[in-house]
Amino acid sequence: MKCDKCNREAVIFQRYSGMHLCGPHEVADVERKIKRRMRKERMAKPGDHIAVAMSGGKDSAVTLSILVDTFTTRSNIKFSAITVDEGIEGYRNESIPYAKELCDRLGVPHYVVSFKEEIGHTLDDILSRERKEASCTYCGVFRRTLLNRKAREIGANKLATGHNLDDEAQVVLLNVMNGDVERLARLRPSRAQEGLIPRIKPLIDVPEKEIALYAFLKKLPFYMGECPYTSESFRGEIKDMLNDFEARHPGTKYSVLSGFENMIDCLKEKYPQVPLHNCEVCGEPGIQGVCQACKLKKRVKIDREPEA
Ligand code: SF4
Ligand SMILES: [Zn+2]
Ligand SMILES: [Zn+2]
């Protein structure tokens, strides 16, 4: 099949747009969507120091590569990459070298922070001892805290994550299915909060499959393995459901995202942003009293058998 924009062979058929695209036109289409989102939300400004949350997977590789490529001529925007090593044997230890390789190639400083050093235990260790929450709950809570703290320490004023269209549509549906509308409103904070590095998500208009294709076409080093705990999550079920809908009704993921964005102002009116407080234990911004990370950390310690 030929590309709809030129005479080359197509490498993808975008069912949601009805377009066949060759490699160079697919690359251009992905970059157009990412840059459009960045402009729309004014994600990068002169003087910014943007830290990219770098797992070594395709999404973070594309985020870092496109940010650096786009702003390479603007020396007044600085980039760093932060990898959180959760301590997932056979997964994270395999992906970190890819993150390092890309950072070296792009000349971006790379920082690694680990659960083991910061929390005292690897995620594998925590999950082998306590299973009161889903694996992704422990992982997500600690990872958010570590990323925020490291980004602040290195002087970053923005934290870019590699969430793609699939991720964003999944999280919208997840919150709807949990009936947690307030959390849905928090997906688009109205203003920056003291101590909390604002997040930017440049890839949310690009389907996951096309991020992978882009990374492949651009020959970016990225790790292809999947977290062994993925399938345990409710989120995993939502992912399967969305993929099934997308196959039968192309464009479903875009509809979920645009439906959410059309109602976000109403949601924010009903659930205005609440001020954050500094955690009484670690000082990180969070809900009043002790933050969720410290509560979980304490519980994991108590629930552990005494160490020999
Ligand atoms: S799938 Fe869950 S446990 Fe695995 S890295 Fe992601 S959040 Fe952590
Ligand atoms: Zn083409
Ligand atoms: Zn705390």
In a domain, 16, yes or no: no
How large is the average pLDDT for residues 115-142?
A: 88
The pLDDT, as a whole number, for residue 302 is 59
Q: Six-digit token pair at 188?
A: 């688009």
pLDDT digits (tens, 9 = 90+) for 14-73: 999 999 999 999 999 999 999 999 999 999 999 999 999 999 999 999 999 999 998 877
Is ligand 1 within 6 A of the CB of residue 139?
Answer: yes
At 195, which CATH number?
Answer: 3.40.50.620
In a domain, 11, yes or no: no
Could you give the CA distance from residue 181 to residue 69 in angstroms, rounded to a whole number?
37
* Partners of 217 in beta bridges: none
140 lines ligand 1 (CB under 6 A): yes
227-273 pLDDT, tens digit per residue, is: 988 766 788 889 999 999 999 999 999 999 999 999 999 999 998 88
Looking at this protein, which amino acid is placed at residue 29?
A: D
What are the phi and psi torsion angles at 306 (to 5°)?
-60, 135
Let me know if residue 6 belongs to a domain: no
The pairing of beta strand 199-200 with beta strand 277-278: unpaired
Burial class of residue 308 in the structure, from the number of CB atoms within 10 Å of its CB (0-12 exposed, 13-18 middle, 19+ buried): exposed
So what's the pLDDT on residue 234? 82
Residue 227 CA: nearest ligand 1 atom is 4
Q: Which ligand is nearest to the CA of 122?
A: 1
The reply to whether 76 falls in a domain is: yes
DSSP notation for 4-66? SSSSSBPSEEETTTTEEE-HHHHHHHHHHHHHHHHHHTT---TT-EEEEE--SSHHHHHHHHH
| Residue 3 CB less than 6 A away from ligand 1 | no
Confirm if 87 and 195 have CB atoms less than 8 A apart: no
CB of 126 closer than 6 A to ligand 1? Answer: no
Going by alpha carbons, the residue nearest to atom 6 of ligand 1 is 136
Q: Is residue 308 part of a domain?
A: no
Residue minimizing CA distance to atom 7 of ligand 1: 136
Asked whether residue 143 carries a pLDDT value surpassing 90, the answer given is yes
Q: In which residue are the tokens 């410290």 written?
A: 294
pLDDT of residue 230: 79
> What is the average pLDDT value for the chain, to the nearest integer?
92
Q: Is residue 7 part of a domain?
A: no
Half-sphere exposure of 151 (CA within 13 A, CB side): 30
Q: What is the CA angle 72-76-80, rounded to 5? A: 70
Classify residue 54: in a domain, yes or no: yes
Q: What mean pLDDT do residues 83-108 have?
A: 97
266 part of a folded domain: yes
Q: What's residue 236's pLDDT?
A: 84
Q: What pLDDT does 129 receive?
A: 80
Q: What confidence tens digit (pLDDT) does each residue in 167-212 have? A: 999 999 999 999 999 999 989 887 778 889 999 999 999 999 999 9
Tell me the residue range of the domain where 154 lies. Answer: 26-303
Tally of structural domains, the chain? 1
- Pick the residue whose CA is nearest to atom 3 on ligand 1: 136
Residue 77 near residue 71, CB atoms below 8 Å: yes
